[in-house]
């Protein structure tokens, strides 16, 4: 076999391997019966100066008083993991770990804004929970789409404008 042909064959083998890796799905560990779980994609846009944007895969687990949010790159690497139990939260990101008694403080560190996490979990279950300063469009939740937007007003200090879009995988 010629050197050029062997090189082409190696190149083809590498490309097929990469394509198969890109199509691989994550295997999820078994969950406790009372654990709620969602995965999919999210896009978070913050109209700040400069504007901020986060696009990532996500996995969200929730139990009565605890939860975990994991952000995942398109290649399947964990970008950040946020874990909370009543009164305690931790954030792992870029080889660093932060701990705080406030989930909101770590959400701000992670995303730039304190997202209403308890309401987000309700919205994903199609519960129309009201949160001052936030509006959730649940009209497409049955097809796995959730759109959330902040509504800054004189009554709230939530600035700047925030838009969160989630697409949940079946």
CATH of the domain at 59: 2.50.20.10
Rounded CA separation 9/14 (Å): 9
CA distance 19 to 8: 16
Residue 118 lies in a domain: yes
Question: Residue 138 and residue 15: Cα distance in Å, rounded?
Answer: 41
The 10s digit of each residue's pLDDT in 110-156 is 988 889 999 999 999 999 999 999 999 999 999 999 999 998 765 55
**100 in any annotated domain:** yes
Q: What pLDDT was estimated at residue 169? A: 93
pLDDT band, residue 9 (cuts 50/70/90):
very low
Determine, yes or no, domain membership for 25.
no
Picking from 103, 58, 61, the residue whose alpha carbon sits closest to that of residue 78 is 58
Residue 108 in any domain: the answer is yes
24 lies in a domain?
Answer: no
What's the mean per-residue pLDDT of the chain?
82
Give the global pTM.
Answer: 0.76
- In a domain? residue 3: no
Q: Would residue 70 count as lying in a domain?
A: yes
For residue 129, the model assigns a pLDDT of 95
Which backbone phi and psi does 95 adopt, to 5 degrees?
A: 80, 5
The stretches of the chain forming alpha helices (DSSP H) are: 3-23, 103-111, 117-124
In a domain, 16, yes or no: no
Domain hosting 114: range is 35-168
Q: Give the chain's domain count.
A: 1
Q: What is the pLDDT of residues 65-93, one digit of tens each?
A: 899 999 999 999 999 999 999 889 999 99
């Amino acid at each position: 076999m010629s050197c050029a042909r062997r090189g082409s064959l190696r190149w083809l083998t590498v490309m097929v391997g990469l394509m198969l890796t890109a199509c691989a799905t994550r295997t999820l560990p078994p969950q406790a019966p009372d654990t709620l779980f969602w995965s999919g994609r999210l896009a978070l846009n913050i109209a700040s100066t400069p504007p901020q944007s986060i696009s990532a895969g996500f996995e969200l687990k929730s139990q009565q008083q605890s939860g975990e949010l994991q952000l995942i790159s398109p290649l399947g690497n964990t970008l950040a993991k946020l874990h909370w139990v009543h009164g305690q939260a931790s954030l792992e990101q870029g080889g660093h770990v932060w701990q705080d008694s406030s989930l909101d403080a770590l959400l701000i560190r992670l995303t730039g804004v304190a997202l209403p996490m308890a309401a987000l979990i309700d919205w994903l279950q199609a519960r129309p929970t009201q949160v001052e300063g936030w509006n959730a469009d649940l009209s497409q939740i049955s097809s796995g789409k959730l759109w959330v937007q902040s509504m800054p007003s004189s009554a709230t200090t939530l600035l700047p404008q925030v838009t969160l879009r989630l697409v949940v995988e079946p």
